[in-house]
Amino acid sequence: MRLAGFSQRMIATDAGILVLCALSVLVLHTVTNGQYGFHRDELATVDDARFLSWGYVVYPPFTPFIARVALTLFGTSLIGLRFFAALAPAIAMVLTGFMAREMGGKRTAQVVAAWAAAIAGPAVSSGTLFQYVSFDYLWWVLAAYVMLRLLNSGDQRWWLALGGIVGLGMMTKYTMAFFLAGIAGGILLTNPRMLLNKWLWYGACIAMLIFLPNLVWQVQHDFISLAFLQFIHARDVGLGRTDNFLLLQCWVATNPITVPLWAAGLYFLFATPDGKRYRVIGWIYVIPLTLFLIAKGRPYYLAPAYPMLLAAGAVWGERRLETLPPTVASAIRRRVRRSLVIGGLVVAALVLPVAPAGSRWWTVANAVNGGNFDEEFGWREMAQAVARVRDSLPTESAPVGILAGDAGQAGAINLYGHSRGLPEAISGSNSHWLRGYGNSPPKTVITAGLLRADVEGIFERCKLAGHINVPFGIRNSAIGDHLQVFVCQGPREPWPSFWKRFHSFG
């Protein structure tokens, strides 16, 4: 009875309905997120979380900090870790409905906007993997909502909140700078006098103070993240991952079903008298779009900018329907509901980790996800193979070290090998390289994730000692052909010299 009463009270309010919708999405992620295993990027992040710092090679410190919170609360639980990733788009779903309300939308517009944002591919995938993408998505949406609150209320103190959000965004993913460029450009193009407001600059100071520790870390480490980003960008451009940026906004950054809705949002913001008040929101989309296009960004980078357009489009659509005959309006509403349901089911089937591994359905879903499902298999088996090799070594081989090919592999060995008594894995990849090879160089090295040609170039004596068996015959990009485990001795050069040139990005 109490639960029924609570549900009735929630349904009685617009905010309550939005919260219930978001909770349903959160529950869906929670019950499906344990289907496979940790992704290679998650393993690297969890390993970074063991060494809290103001900066890391791959990302600012916020995401590893949340991973540390998850480890403290839930231990090494996949569902526990991904709970926070799923919570971010769920909150963003509510905020999208709130943005529609800020622009004058009634309940229908709020719910349509919220669900349209929730069924976008990036919004769904950000709830299935613990990555900085999830939290970056949330900060963009929250910043857009706060901007609308500022425009509607006229209370300039909202700049303080916006500054805090931008600061947290920069401590999560550096692409928040593109959102900031959108705000600055939007103000210049709509209301330049706003730049004279003291609260705006107070907010800018708050953002800078929040971001300052990471900036200091970057200075101390010769802006190593900039070198990483340049490497990743060149790789993505070379692989064609940045091609067709504009076209892929329709089905990589958003859901094809919702394209008319966010296009209507652009029309509302730039071409209608009612939208003029919120035109800065339109520029917050257009300016990052232009910058990403020029800079050759990945198509999904702009995904966090679409919820505000979906909210605007839902408001415009609601008002337009009110001018149509009731029968026509009802037919359009039914079609919109049907489209959202179908679009949501298709995205859920292809993006959520629900397909049986190795099935045809799984093969299609894995391809749609860019091979990410592949990256969730083989890690426990890698640690087990390394442990078997370690157990087979004679006692005179000590001290024994483990050299992994990349940060994800090192993270997997550290996560699954701890209970087997394996030593800390070392790697030249990303932040693992900064941690070095330990206080004393190992006498014997077990390698995982490296080819024979790689290890023979590092050590004088290497022998094949084990093999990694990945389930279902999966060959992901991390393990792939790197299935052999070697035992090596006799480095060809002193460890300090070798380690200096062993650094790699990935």
Domain span holding position 485? 377-501
The answer to whether position 445 is within a domain reads: yes
Determine the pLDDT at residue 4.
55
End-to-end CA distance of the chain: 54
**What count of residues does the chain have?**
506
| Same domain? 213 vs 338 | yes
Q: Assess whether pLDDT exceeds 70 at residue 131.
A: yes
Sheet holding 484-491, edge to edge: 425-427, 400-404, 444-448, 484-491, 459-467
| Same domain? 383 vs 352 | no
The answer to whether position 41 is within a domain reads: yes
How far apart CA 408 and CA 61 sit, in angstroms, is: 17
Which of left, alpha, beta for 208 (phi over 0: left; psi -120 to 50: alpha)?
alpha
Last residue of a domain, one of 318, 334, 368: 368
What's the rounded mean pLDDT across residues 349-371? Answer: 94
Omega within 30 of 0 (cis) for the link into 423: no
Share of the chain above pLDDT 90, in %: 93
Count of beta carbons in the 10 Å neighbourhood of residue 359: 11
Q: Assess whether pLDDT exceeds 60 at residue 6.
A: no
What's the rounded mean pLDDT across residues 339-365? Answer: 95
Please provide residue 373's backbone torsions phi and psi, each rounded to the nearest 5 degrees.
Answer: -65, -35
Lowest mean pLDDT among 81-90, 124-133, 403-412, 467-476: 467-476
Residues whose CB is less than 8 angstroms from the CB of residue 357 and which lie 6 or more positions away in sequence, other chains included: 35, 36, 373, 377, 471, 472, 474
| Same domain? 171 vs 134 | yes
Give the DSSP letter of residue 504.
B
How far apart CA 425 and CA 411 sit, in angstroms, is: 8
Determine the pLDDT at residue 9.
65
Average pLDDT value for the chain:
95
| Same domain? 349 vs 400 | no
Give the DSSP letter of residue 440.
S
The DSSP secondary structure of 141-197, one letter per residue, reads HHHHHHHHHHHHH--TTHHHHHHHHHHHHHTT-TTHHHHHHHHHHHHHHH-GGGGG-
Which one-letter amino acid corresponds to residue 431? S
- Give the β-pairing of 484-491 and 444-448: antiparallel
Q: What does the pLDDT look like over 181-195, one tens digit per residue? A: 999 999 999 999 999
Helix, strand counts (H, E) of the chain: 22, 5
| Same domain? 330 vs 381 | no
CA atoms within 13 A on the CB side of 19: 11
How far apart CA 223 and CA 231 sit, in angstroms, is: 13
CA atoms within 13 A on the CB side of 365: 21
Which one-letter amino acid corresponds to residue 41? D
| Same domain? 271 vs 417 | no
Last residue of a domain, one of 340, 368, 396: 368
Determine the pLDDT at residue 480.
83
| Same domain? 192 vs 66 | yes
Q: What does the pLDDT look like over 416-447, one tens digit per residue? A: 999 999 999 999 999 999 999 988 899 999 99
The answer to whether position 234 is within a domain reads: yes
- Give the β-pairing of 444-448 and 400-404: parallel
Last residue of a domain, one of 334, 368, 402: 368
How far apart CA 49 and CA 65 sit, in angstroms, is: 6
| Same domain? 232 vs 282 | yes
- Residue 292's closest CA among 306, 311, 279, 280? 306
Lowest mean pLDDT among 118-132, 188-202, 335-349, 476-490: 476-490
What's the rounded mean pLDDT across residues 155-170? Answer: 98
- Give the β-pairing of 459-467 and 444-448: unpaired
| Same domain? 341 vs 400 | no
- Residue 169's closest CA among 129, 124, 214, 200? 214
Q: What does the pLDDT look like over 237-292, one tens digit per residue? A: 999 999 999 999 998 999 999 999 999 999 999 999 999 999 999 999 999 999 99
Determine the pLDDT at residue 2.
57
Determine the pLDDT at residue 155.
96
How far apart CA 495 and CA 250 sit, in angstroms, is: 50
Lowest mean pLDDT among 3-12, 172-181, 289-298, 392-401: 3-12
Residues whose CB is less than 8 angstroms from the CB of residue 220 and which lie 6 or more positions away in sequence, other chains included: none
The answer to whether position 432 is within a domain reads: yes
Structure tokens at 83: 């709970």
The answer to whether position 326 is within a domain reads: yes
The answer to whether position 506 is within a domain reads: no
Structure tokens at 417: 């090998």
Determine the pLDDT at residue 479.
85
The DSSP element (H or E) to which 485 belongs, if any, is strand 484-491
pLDDT band at 141 (very low <50, low <70, confident <90, very high): very high
| Same domain? 45 vs 122 | yes
pLDDT band at 8 (very low <50, low <70, confident <90, very high): low
- Residue 211's closest CA among 249, 239, 175, 169? 169
Give the DSSP letter of residue 423.
P
Determine the pLDDT at residue 3.
52
Count how many domains the chain has: 2
| Same domain? 257 vs 391 | no
| Residues 96 and 311: beta-carbon distance below 8 Å | yes
pLDDT band at 208 (very low <50, low <70, confident <90, very high): very high
pTM reported for the whole predicted model: 0.94
How far apart CA 303 and CA 127 sit, in angstroms, is: 14
How far apart CA 365 and CA 373 sit, in angstroms, is: 8
Please provide residue 259's backbone torsions phi and psi, each rounded to the nearest 5 degrees.
Answer: -55, -45
Q: Give how far Cα 393 sits from Cα of 356, 440, 467, Å.
A: 38, 19, 15
The answer to whether position 393 is within a domain reads: yes
| Same domain? 70 vs 115 | yes
How far apart CA 132 and CA 229 sit, in angstroms, is: 14
Q: What does the pLDDT look like over 281-317, one tens digit per residue? A: 999 999 999 999 999 999 999 999 999 999 999 999 9
